[in-house]
Chain A
Amino acid sequence: MIEARGLTKRYGDVVAVDDVSFQIGKGEVVGFLGPNGAGKTTTMRMLTGFVPPTDGTAVIAGHDIFTDPIAARRAIGYLPETPPLYPEMTVESYVAYVAKINDVARGKRKPAVARALERCGLADVRRRVIGTLSKGYRQRVGLAQAIVHVPPVLILDEPTVGLDPIQVREIRQLISDLASPEQGESQHTVVLSTHILPEVEAICRRVILVNEGRKVIDKPLSELTAGGMTLDEVFVREIMKEAPAEQAAS
């Protein structure tokens, strides 16, 4: 579903993402992990077509992001770090607008919007103006926006940052539900970026760990924690491995 081939992003001399490759199959739920500034957001922005890679490319649901960008973007539902909302719009009209610009056919728009609102628990607030909603609800609107066109690929950038514990649980439950759909619904491939480890343990079956722009680990979660170590310990060990080398260099 997602194939990244040597994704690289340089900003002048700074290398934000360095030759990252991976393949993610249909229906997989992958945790994209790393400390702050590791290049998670940049990688996701390259996958979603927001910024082009300096080097390398990616293929989303069979569409190359360079040669077929429109189709690649259509195949993705994307929730950026801050949900991209128009504060003056109502929840329903906003989600309907996103459906429209994502080429959901006119006749299918209404049920698609209703379904997205239903799944994200927004049916009761659908006539509310987004600007008046709480942070947790805004995050849900962000999710509803990402799933309204039933994209094969869902890319979520730190979907639970800044929420209270109850909201965090609700959003995680929601993401789990999206990954294992009800009958008759198409399955989403989910990439979830985060630095919150319990989140990964709760939702994901596979982990890609990036540090300083490079891919460090790419393994199923079960394999990582097989040696009796918690994900927490694995994470710290991998990150610290890099540190001495860096000190020697400077």
Chain B
Amino acid sequence: MRHIADVAGRELRGLFVSPVAYGILSLFSVLAGIFFIVTLSAFSEWVLRLQQMQAIEALAQANLNDGMIAMFYQSMGVVLLFLIPGITMSLFASEKTNGTQELLLTSPLTIWDIVLGKFLAGAIFTTLLVAIVAAYPAVLWIYGNPGPELGKTISGLLGLLLVSWTYVSIGAFASSLTRSQVLAFLLTFVILLMMMFMPAIADLGVAGTSEARDFFRYLSADVHLDQLVRGLVDTKDLAYFAVMIGTFLVFTKTAVESVRWR
């Protein structure tokens, strides 16, 4: 376990010498800016209309968190779904094409050193992405009057952070299955899309019993993100993320180890 940081450090340095990391960071910043402006102007338009209609009651309830930041966070969650596979695709696949898998597995590292090191690298990168998201509500906080509600804003960010780490663990698993980065990207993308559509599938009625429907809904990261964005920090949702991350890390460990018994 002492080498997790070594593996993570190398991985991060590898990411930042390639243009991919910078490409994703800039693309993400641009998209975050666009979604921020779009959701903010939609919100202010809505407030303006409420004022014209003199809908006092609705106006009293309108707030930045529910009217704008929630939408902004959810959009960024979708953006993460598209970008994270681009980060995670190389985690293990490139070790195989470089032949460095043999270096790692014949050095005094445990498989957990390797898997957790790679996950940590990916998680640090996505934490950076979420930090970019955080800059925008911070702007509202500074210039807004009244600004957003701090608790809700932060619990939403926590949600995004957990979603991103979940995506990283899934991407790491996909990357550990193949030596092709393209395939790893596609596989991650397909799994994440399926997860996103889980609630829709559940609502189609194909799920049958209501228990099955609840189960399908539970699998979706979005459902749990929603709760956190609304400021509801519930152990049920936190447990979902812990279980997902843990499960996919165990899968990844098994996949990496499998070269030993194949």
Contact = CB atoms under 8 A, between A and B. Distances in A.
Chain A interface secondary structure, helix, strand, loop or mixed?
A: loop
A74 B108 contact: yes
B49 interface: no
Given A83-B99, A88-B17, A89-B14, A73 B261 contact: no
A85 B100 CA distance: 6
A82 B108 contact: no
A10 to B, nearest CB: 12
B98 to A, nearest CB: 6
A84 B6 CA distance: 17
Nearest to A90: B17
Contacts of B7: 101
B236 interface: no
B102 interface: yes
Nearest to A71: B108
Interface stretch (A46-54, A214-222, A232-240): A46-54
A73 B14 contact: no
Nearest to A101: B107
B18 A84 contact: no
B106 interface: yes
Contacts of B62: none
B106 A73 contact: yes
Contact of B100 (A50, A74, A86): A86
B259 interface: yes
B37 to A, nearest CB: 36
A97 B18 CA distance: 18
A224 interface: no
B178 interface: no
Nearest to A49: B106
Contacts of A84: 98-103
B110 A70 contact: yes
Contacts of A74: 107-108
Interface string B1-36: 001001100100110011000000000000000000
Contacts of A127: none
B17 A82 contact: no
Nearest to B16: A88
B238 interface: no
- Contact residue range for chain B? 20 to 34
Contacts of B261: 52
Contacts of B106: 48-50, 73, 76, 78, 80
- Contact residue range for chain A? 20 to 34
Contacts of A139: none
B98 A102 contact: no
Interface in A80-126: 80, 82-89, 93, 97-98, 100-103
Nearest to B18: A88
Given A70-B108, A74-B108, A84-B103, A101 B98 contact: no
B177 interface: no
A88 B14 contact: yes
B234 to A, nearest CB: 40
Interface string B76-114: 000000000000000000000011111111111110000
Contacts of A57: none
Contacts of B102: 45, 50, 78, 80, 84
Given A88-B17, A101-B7, A145 B110 contact: no
A82 B99 CA distance: 7
Contacts of A86: 10, 14, 98, 100
Interface in B202-234: none
Contacts of A48: 106
A52 B260 contact: yes
B105 A101 contact: no
B259 A51 contact: yes
Given A101-B6, A101-B7, 19 more contacts: A49-B105, A50-B106, A51-B260, A52-B261, A71-B108, A78-B102, A78-B106, A84-B100, A85-B98, A85-B99, A86-B10, A86-B100, A87-B98, A88-B18, A89-B17, A93-B13, A97-B10, A101-B3, A103-B108
21 contacts: A49-B106, A50-B106, A52-B260, A70-B108, A73-B108, A74-B107, A76-B106, A78-B106, A84-B98, A84-B102, A85-B100, A86-B98, A87-B98, A89-B14, A100-B6, A101-B3, A101-B104, A101-B107, A101-B108, A103-B108, A145-B103
Interface of B: 3, 6-7, 10, 13-14, 17-18, 98-110, 259-261
Closest 6 CB pairs of A and B: A84-B103, A74-B108, A48-B106, A84-B100, A84-B99, A82-B99
Interface of A: 45, 48-52, 70-71, 73-74, 76, 78, 80, 82-89, 93, 97-98, 100-103, 145
